[in-house]
């Protein structure tokens, strides 16, 4: 079972910061996941929420601020004093950290609340500029964005994210089309996703932080888990010889 560090190494470092990504890049794991939004001046930045309220000392929506304005706040101090001074990373800064590693890089397009017109093109441009087309997986809960990535860059791996289980998921996946399915733990264990795995779908599961939940996934056929605790999961999987 493969391990992707969720929002970087987010259990020990402030999520979606360069500190969290450098720590993830140093681990012998399989991948990393992070979230992107668009600024007022059309820069792709890495942050989970639509607003900076929870993970910085500032207030407001990313879409209403320029990159320069967003860079005026601190994105590490809320987590711990030792990380005060972390900034909001751009997509290209984060991609650059992983370009020379063996980690897969899952870019999650957070366009499910605000539509961010043109975001897919901007993200693809940066991926292509760094030659990372084969290293990335582009996912979203916004399935219009998933379909658009397929249209614009059919060779890049795209993935549809799901909160709930849906029936006929394979037919839906083919229609989008999406190359992979990123599902929650309950969905991963239910009939539609289990059938999808039998039929060859690549399935990854978010967000698994308890070893008891890894045990539930043994023999489920899922390819990977997203976790805030990559080291803990790495040790558990190795010590218990957990395979898919």
Contact residues: ligand G3P, CB under 6 A: 6, 33, 35, 48, 108, 139, 161, 182, 206-207, 226
206 makes contact, choosing from ligand G3P, Mg ion, none, with CB < 5 to 8 Å by partner type, with ligand G3P
Q: Reduced to 3 states, what is the DSSP secondary structure of residue 9? A: coil
Q: Look at residue 9 and give the partner it binds from ligand G3P, Mg ion, none, a contact being a CB closer than 5 to 8 Å depending on partner kind.
A: none
Taking residue 163's Cβ as centre, other Cβ atoms within 10 Å add up to: 11
Residue 220 interacting entry, from ligand G3P, Mg ion, none, C-beta within 5 to 8 Å by type: none
Nearer to ligand G3P, 165 or 207 (CB): 207
Between 68 and 193, name the residue whose CB sits nearer to ligand G3P.
193
Nearer of residues 37 and 148 to ligand G3P, judged by Cβ: 37
**Does the footprint of Mg ion cover residue 35 (CB under 5 A)?**
yes
With CB under 5 to 8 Å by kind, the binding choice for 143 among Mg ion, ligand G3P, none is none
226 interface partner picked from Mg ion, ligand G3P, none, CB below 5 to 8 A per type: ligand G3P
Tell whether residue 108 is a contact of Mg ion (CB under 5 A): yes
As measured in angstroms, the least distance from the Cβ of 53 to ligand G3P is 16
Residue among 108 and 157 whose Cβ is closer to Mg ion:
108
> Helical H runs in the chain?
18-25, 67-70, 91-99, 119-129, 143-152, 169-175, 185-188, 191-198, 211-217, 230-239
Q: How far is CA 90 from CA 16, 101, 137, 149, 151, in A?
A: 10, 18, 17, 20, 25
The Cα–Cα gap between 234 and 8 comes to 15
Count Cβ atoms below 10 Å from residue 190 Cβ, excluding itself: 14
Radius of gyration of the chain (CA): 17
Cβ closer to Mg ion: 108 or 228? 108
CB of 68 to ligand G3P, least distance (A): 26
Active site residues: 6, 48
Residue 122 near residue 38 (C-beta atoms within 8 A): yes
Nearest-approach distance from CB 177 to Mg ion, in angstroms: 21
CB 109 within 8 A of CB 80: no
Distance CA 195, CA 191 (A): 6
Q: How far is the CB of 153 from ligand G3P (least distance, A)?
A: 19
Binding site for Mg ion (CB under 5 A): 35, 108
């Amino acid at each position: 079972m493969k391990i992707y560090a969720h929002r970087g190494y987010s259990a020990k470092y402030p999520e979606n910061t360069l500190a969290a990504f450098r720590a993830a890049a140093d681990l012998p794991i399989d991948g990393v996941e992070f979230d992107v939004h668009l600024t007022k001046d059309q820069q792709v930045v890495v942050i989970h929420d639509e607003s900076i309220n929870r993970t910085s000392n500032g207030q407001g929506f990313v879409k209403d601020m320029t990159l320069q304005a967003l860079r005026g706040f601190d994105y590490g101090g809320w987590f711990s004093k030792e990380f005060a001074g972390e900034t909001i990373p751009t997509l290209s800064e984060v991609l650059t950290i992983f370009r020379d590693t063996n980690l897969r890089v899952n870019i999650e397009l957070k366009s499910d609340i605000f539509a961010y017109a043109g975001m897919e093109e901007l993200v693809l441009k940066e991926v292509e500029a760094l030659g990372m087309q084969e290293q990335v997986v582009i996912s979203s809960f916004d399935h219009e964005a998933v379909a658009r990535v397929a249209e614009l860059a059919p060779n890049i791996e795209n993935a549809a994210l799901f909160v709930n289980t849906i029936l006929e998921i394979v037919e839906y996946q083919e229609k989008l089309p999406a190359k992979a399915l990123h599902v929650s733990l309950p969905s991963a264990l239910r009939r539609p996703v289990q059938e999808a795995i039998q039929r060859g779908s690549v399935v990854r599961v978010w967000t698994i932080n308890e070893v008891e939940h890894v045990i539930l996934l043994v023999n489920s056929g899922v390819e990977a888990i997203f976790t805030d605790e990559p080291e803990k999961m790495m040790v558990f999987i190795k010590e218990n010889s957990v395979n898919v």
